[in-house]
Structures are given as structure tokens and as C-alpha cells.
């Protein structure tokens, strides 16, 4: 029984933001039981609250840290949320719904991530269900009595007024209202002054403007979400630093936007983390970065650099570490045979029966050097060098695919798409492993002016094809790297790296640290995959820090919860690599080892992926790329094997266990920078 002066459970169900400060130990224990009783495939983060009166019957639930589900909310289907998300009283969330970080949903609002068909051939109740899902970005404020229908994507930082019916996508920073909802203005606009300067970290209530992290003390409560001041626009609330955090700064915003949400929506600090699932990783070890001087030792098969040793905090009999060692020994023993399987007597093919490709030759070189430290035995090292060097056109510096004509350059001298873009990477790195590197500069990149580069960057399809945009930058930046290594003494193209990094640093979204926009069809797939390609060839290759690394981790983990790409049996090599590498790059940059930003979630994801991928090795054949029709498909081959070997290393290194593998990626996927910095930027 609650103490007479103590708020009741019913009180907390309707005002869960009070629970952190005012609940008794008995009430906290009861809340833990409520969370444990939620059925389905459920994972609830730290300091979360689920109202006892809420109807939560998910097929899948991932509730991020510091989030709550309030009284009489109704949740079914698949719901994935980031941290600091709130479903206020009587909210309905059904179907497939993904929320970003800091999403506030007002009372009596419905997010309906499914639909019925309505063909006239049968009664409505017999119509099949359809689902495209709903995707909501970061820092989104949805007012009371709003309806969001299936297939809608709501961009980051949107504010949606009470009673709106959202039937189509809303771009980032929109203030929207009405039925159907329409965009009234950009949230960053300040009347009479145009677009305001925005401090992104301060714009999310509960985050500090200096570094975006959650402050240790909660600010005082505000009005309940969905409330609108009757006498006109409410005064914008301020966080502990005095920075405005509400969008309702004028009469139009007050009419269109929901009321401010309670600042102290976080739940108890004493609320324990749910019981760990079988196979959860041990507490993370100390920083795992290999010293620069260890790179050469790391390149030798069977040698473990000092930075990759088994951590002292892990018992020597750890079966997970032993599994990695057994896997690596198996891969080394079978490396020569699986490469031989893909030699047709004249050239390399990705898998038996496929046509020879330039990439297959490069993958064979990468695998042999990674596991055996030598070139594939079918040709001498000099013959490998001669064949790959001879593929490069001396005039353009490009490498076409076998049997295809040399690609035609665009007006700025470089190409926009096609196999030759990736050949800048794979042929360049294969020749780098063999010794000499590319014999000729990539002249389109060497001769490109800063003005031409900026024009090309602005024209890339960031909204509709962020992966392609990132891949183009990967190729351009790698070509610039080879050109700088193969400097012919000319002054051409020496401003390319500086212009590229200047553009990237000023265009990165401060809320995600990325470039590009998500979509209803693919979620963050294009954005995250494009981020990997872009940063691999630019920031990672040059040893430069990426902007907003914590926000990148948030966005990548949000993407990794998307069941369309990471559901059972759906993971392919590209999608897993394009999560693993950014997580590795950012956690390494943050330099906090096992106690770093969201490390528990990162370790859990890496552990789950390792558990999934290691059994997929097929003796004598290697790895398949992955299910479906993307890439070469599920048949084991050189591309899948080369990529998954690198992925296994990154996953293991995230967990502090890469030393058990006895190998370290050396080519395209090398963890060390290919060059140290750019003049003026390092």
C-alpha cells in the first residue's frame, strides 16, 4: 500500500516523469515486475517506465534508455525507439513504428503503421493487412490527438500541432498542422530575421548545449505535453544553460504546435538493467587501439599486435574468444583452397560459374594477404602486379571492367558511376598490398578544380541516393590519396582534399553527423551505408576525426534496429559492415574504451552479429555475401569472404577480442589510416 503522502502507482502511470524522484523502493520493484511481464520479443533499456495500466502486447519492442509508456497507452506490432522517447497517456502505436532519439508523443495520439486494403471483392474485415511502417526522426514533438498513417516518414526536429492528420512525409525542421497536415514554416525561422542560428544539442530538452549528453540533474517539470496556452503563445522553456528549447516562439507556432513536454521525463536512476540474455559480452576492456608502431606486426598472419592482446579482464577460458581463434585457424587453413576454387585457369571469378571480374582478382589478393601474407599462388607477385597495373588506362587513370569500354568522363573530368569507380579502390589497394601501387594518377581527380568539385558535391543525390553519393566521394578521395602518393610534381588537384573536407564539415547534419535523408521505403539504409563509404575514403583514410561522433552512434544504432535490414536472415555484408565500421570509428575517436557512449548497446549488437555470422562459414568455400538479390547473393565467393573477414575483425575489436583472430585487415578495410592527415586539417 502506498504511503498517504506518497504518490500512487496510478499517479505515476499518468505522470511517469515524477517516478525518478518520488517512487519508493517498493514501487520501483513493482515497476521492474511490470517490465518483465511484457511479452513478445522485448528489450527495455535503462531507467525506463511502463505504466501498469498500459496495454503493451508487442511482437517486438525495443524501448531505448530513459523512455516511458504512460497510462492506458496501447502498443502492438513492432516498436523500436531511441532514448528519451515518451508515449503519453492514451497513445496508440500499432504496426511497424521506429522512433529516433528524443521523440515526444502527446496524449490520445495514434501512430498506425499498418493498413487494410479495400478492394470491392470482399468485406472489409476480410481484407488483407499491409504495412509500410512509420519512421520518426530525432527531436520530434507530436502534439495531442494527432494521427499518423502508415508509410509516413517524419523528419528530424519536426513539430506537429494538436489534432493534425499526417498523411505524407514531412521534411526535417517542419512545423506542421491541419487535416491533412501541411507544413506551415521551418522551425528554424525567426520572424523578421530569416533562418536562425541553431545550437542543435540545446534544441532537445534534456540535453546539454555544450556536448549533447544528458545532464546529471533533471530540470524542474514543465506543463504536460499537448497543453497550449489559451491566451496566446507560451513562453519558450529554457534548459539549465538558459538556451531556448521550444519551437512555439510566436502565435502561429503556438496554434500549430503541441504544448511543451515535461522536462523531467526521465525515469529512476535506481531502475536496474534487464537481465542479460545468454551470450551477453563481459564488461568491456581497456582501450583497444593498436599503436601505430604495431601496424607492421599486425600485417603478419598469426602475429597479434600489442593493441590486440586478449584483455586481462577476460578469463583465458572464455569460449567466445576461443570460437574466434578456431574460426581464424579454419579460415587460414582453407584460404588457399577457397581462392583456388575461384581461379578458372586464366583469371579470377567471384564464384565458380561466374564471369571473371577485376574485383574478383583484387578480392583474391586481399584474402591471400590477409590470411597468408602472400600473393595468390596462381601467379607470381610480379605477374599479379603486371596484370593489375596493365588494366589502368594511362591517360585517364581509370580501370574499366573486363570486356567493357573505358567509361566516358563527365565535364569535370571524372566519372559519376559504374564499376570503374570501385576499381579506384580495389585495384589501388591490391597493388598497394603487392608493392608498387597504381602506376598512373587518376587524372580527372588530379585536374579537377575546387569550383568543379564543389559543384559536383552539391549535385550529388543526397536526398534520394545517399549511398551513391557516399560511394562517389569514397572513390574521389581514394583517387586523391593515390595521386598524392604518386605525385608527378604538378600543382594540379592539390586543393581537392582541402575543398572536399571543408564541404563535408560544413554540410554534416549536427543531429546525425551524417549526410543525406532517410526515406519511408528504406529508413536510414541509404544514409548509413553512404556514411560508411564516404567516411572510409575521407576521414578514416586520412586519420581525421569525424564530426559529431556521438550523434553518429545514435543514428547508426537506430538504423541497426530496423528489422527490414537486420531481421533474422536479412543481414548482408554491406549492411553489417556499414554499421560496424562507423561504430568502431566513432568509439575509437571518443576514446572511452568499454565505458564509452552507449557501449552496452554497441557490444550487444556486435555480439549478436558475431554469433550469427561465424556459423555461416562454409568449409572450402568461405562466406556468401548475404541473402536476397543485393550484391552477389548467398552463394559463397570471394567478395562475400573478403568482406565478412573484415567485418568479423571489426565486430571482434568492438568487443576487445580481435587479438584472438591473429589477422588484421590490410587493404580497403584497413583500420589504420592509409595516410596521416591533410595539410591544414590534421
For the annotated catalytic residues, the residue numbers are 116
| C-alpha cell at position 423 | 576499381
Count of C-beta atoms within a 10 Å radius of residue 428: 27
Mention every residue, 6+ apart, whose C-beta is less than 8 A from residue 58. Answer: 38, 39, 40, 41, 42, 75, 76, 77, 78, 79
Separation CA 92–CA 72 (nearest Å): 9
Omega of the bond prior to 557 within 30 degrees of 0, cis? no
Q: Which residues pair with 174 in a beta bridge?
A: 186
Comparing C-alpha atoms, which of 334, 372, 382 is closest to residue 623?
334
CA distances (Å), origin 158, targets 186, 197, 268: 9, 17, 28
Separation CA 507–CA 469 (nearest Å): 13
Helix H or strand E segment including 254: helix 251-256
Comparing C-alpha atoms, which of 326, 330, 338, 327 is closest to residue 366?
338
Report the SS3 class of residue 397: coil
Separation CA 602–CA 608 (nearest Å): 10
DSSP assignment, residue 404?
A: S
Comparing C-alpha atoms, which of 271, 267, 268, 276 is closest to residue 84?
267
Exposed e or buried b for every residue in 26-62, given b needs 16+ CB within 10 A? ebbeebeebbeebeeebbbbbbbbbbeebebebebbb
Exposed e or buried b for every residue in 317-344, given b needs 16+ CB within 10 A? ebebbebbeebbeebbebbbebbebbbe
Comparing C-alpha atoms, which of 98, 194, 106, 169 is closest to residue 138?
98
Separation CA 447–CA 491 (nearest Å): 9
Q: Which residues pair with 56 in a beta bridge?
A: 75
Separation CA 75–CA 5 (nearest Å): 32
Comparing C-alpha atoms, which of 82, 67, 224 is closest to residue 144?
224
283, 32 contact by CB (below 8 A): no
| C-alpha cell at position 275 | 537481465
| C-alpha cell at position 650 | 571489426
Alpha-helical regions (H) of 173-250: 200-203
| C-alpha cell at position 297 | 606486426
Q: Phi-psi region for residue 249, left (φ > 0), alpha (ψ -120 to 50) or beta?
A: alpha
Mention every residue, 6+ apart, whose C-beta is less than 8 A from residue 643. Answer: 573, 574, 577, 623, 625, 669
The per-residue DSSP string of 4-52 comes to TTSPPHHHHHH-GGGHHHH--HHHHHHHHHHHHT--SEEEE-TT-EE-T
Comparing C-alpha atoms, which of 586, 593, 577 is closest to residue 547?
586
Amino acid at each position: 500500500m502506498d504511503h498517504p503522502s506518497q504518490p500512487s502507482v496510478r499517479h505515476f502511470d499518468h505522470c511517469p516523469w515524477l517516478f525518478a524522484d518520488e517512487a519508493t523502493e517498493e514501487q520501483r520493484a513493482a515497476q521492474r515486475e511490470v517490465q518483465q511481464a511484457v511479452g513478445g520479443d522485448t528489450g527495455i533499456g535503462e531507467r525506463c517506465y511502463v505504466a501498469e495500466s498500459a496495454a503493451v502486447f508487442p511482437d517486438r519492442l525495443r524501448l531505448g534508455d530513459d523512455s516511458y509508456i504512460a497510462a492506458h497507452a496501447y502498443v502492438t506490432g513492432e516498436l523500436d525507439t531511441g532514448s528519451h522517447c515518451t508515449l503519453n497517456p492514451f497513445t496508440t502505436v500499432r504496426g511497424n513504428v521506429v522512433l529516433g532519439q528524443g521523440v515526444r508523443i502527446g496524449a490520445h495520439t495514434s501512430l498506425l503503421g499498418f493498413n487494410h486494403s479495400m478492394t470491392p471483392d470482399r468485406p472489409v474485415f476480410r481484407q488483407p493487412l499491409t504495412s509500410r511502417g512509420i519512421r520518426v526522426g530525432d527531436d520530434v514533438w507530436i502534439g495531442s490527438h494527432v494521427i499518423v498513417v502508415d508509410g509516413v516518414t517524419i523528419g528530424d526536429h519536426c513539430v506537429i500541432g494538436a489534432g493534425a492528420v499526417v498523411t505524407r512525409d514531412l521534411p526535417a525542421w517542419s512545423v506542421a498542422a491541419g487535416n491533412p497536415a501541411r507544413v506551415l514554416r521551418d522551425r528554424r525561422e525567426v520572424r523578421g530575421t530569416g533562418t536562425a542560428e541553431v545550437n542543435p544539442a540545446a534544441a532537445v530538452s534534456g540535453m546539454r548545449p555544450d556536448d549533447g549528453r544528458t545532464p546529471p540533474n533533471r530540470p524542474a517539470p514543465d506543463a504536460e505535453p499537448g497543453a497550449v496556452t489559451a491566451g496566446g503563445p507560451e513562453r519558450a522553456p529554457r534548459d539549465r544553460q538558459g538556451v531556448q528549447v521550444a519551437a512555439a516562439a510566436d502565435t502561429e507556432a503556438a496554434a500549430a504546435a503541441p504544448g511543451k513536454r515535461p522536462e523531467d521525463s526521465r525515469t529512476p536512476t535506481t531502475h536496474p538493467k534487464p537481465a542479460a540474455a545468454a551470450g551477453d559480452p563481459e564488461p568491456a576492456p581497456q582501450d583497444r587501439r593498436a599503436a601505430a608502431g604495431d601496424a607492421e606486426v599486425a600485417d603478419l598472419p598469426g602475429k597479434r599486435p600489442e593493441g590486440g592482446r586478449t584483455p586481462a579482464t577476460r578469463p583465458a577460458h572464455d569460449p567466445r574468444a576461443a570460437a574466434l581463434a578456431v574460426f581464424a585457424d579454419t579460415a587460414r587453413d582453407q584460404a588457399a583452397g577457397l581462392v583456388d576454387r575461384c581461379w578458372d585457369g586464366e583469371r579470377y571469378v567471384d564464384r565458380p560459374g561466374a564471369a571473371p571480374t577485376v574485383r574478383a582478382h583484387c578480392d583474391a589478393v586481399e584474402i591471400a594477404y590477409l590470411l597468408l601474407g602472400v600473393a595468390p599462388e596462381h601467379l607470381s607477385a610480379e605477374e599479379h602486379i603486371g596484370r593489375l597495373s596493365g588494366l589502368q588506362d594511362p591517360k585517364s587513370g581509370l580501370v574499366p571492367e573486363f570486356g567493357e569500354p573505358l567509361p566516358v568522363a563527365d565535364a569535370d573530368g571524372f566519372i559519376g558511376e559504374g564499376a570503374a569507380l570501385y576499381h579506384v579502390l580495389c585495384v589501388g589497394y591490391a597493388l598497394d598490398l603487392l608493392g608498387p601501387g597504381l602506376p598512373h594518377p587518376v587524372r580527372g581527380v588530379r585536374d579537377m578544380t575546387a569550383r568543379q568539385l564543389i559543384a559536383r558535391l552539391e549535385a550529388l543525390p543526397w536526398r534520394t541516393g545517399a549511398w551513391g553519393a557516399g560511394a562517389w566521394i569514397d572513390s574521389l578521395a581514394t583517387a586523391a590519396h593515390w595521386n598524392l602518393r604518386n605525385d608527378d610534381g604538378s600543382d594540379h588537384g592539390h586543393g581537392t582534399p582541402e575543398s572536399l573536407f571543408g564541404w563535408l564539415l560544413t554540410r554534416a547534419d549536427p543531429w546525425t553527423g551524417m549526410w543525406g535523408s532517410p526515406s519511408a521505403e528504406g529508413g536510414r539504409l541509404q544514409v548509413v551505408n553512404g556514411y560508411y563509404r564516404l567516411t572510409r575514403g575521407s576521414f578514416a583514410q586520412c586519420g581525421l576525426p569525424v564530426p559529431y561522433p556521438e550523434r553518429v552512434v545514435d543514428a547508426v544504432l537506430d538504423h541497426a534496429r530496423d528489422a527490414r535490414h537486420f531481421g533474422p536472415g536479412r543481414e548482408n555484408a554491406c549492411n553489417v559492415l556499414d554499421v560496424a565500421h562507423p561504430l568502431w570509428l566513432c568509439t575509437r575517436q571518443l576514446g572511452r574504451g568499454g565505458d564509452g557512449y552507449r557501449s552496452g548497446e554497441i557490444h550487444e549488437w556486435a555480439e549478436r552479429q558475431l554469433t550469427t555470422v561465424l556459423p555461416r562459414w562454409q568449409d572450402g568455400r568461405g562466406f556468401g555475401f548475404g541473402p536476397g538479390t543485393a550484391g552477389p547473393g548467398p552463394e559463397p565467393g570471394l567478395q562475400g569472404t573478403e568482406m565478412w573477414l573484415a567485418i568479423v575483425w571489426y565486430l571482434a575489436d568492438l568487443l576487445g577480442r580481435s587479438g584472438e583472430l591473429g589477422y588484421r585487415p590490410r587493404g580497403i578495410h584497413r583500420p589504420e589510416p592509409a595516410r596521416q592527415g591533410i595539410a591544414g586539417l590534421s
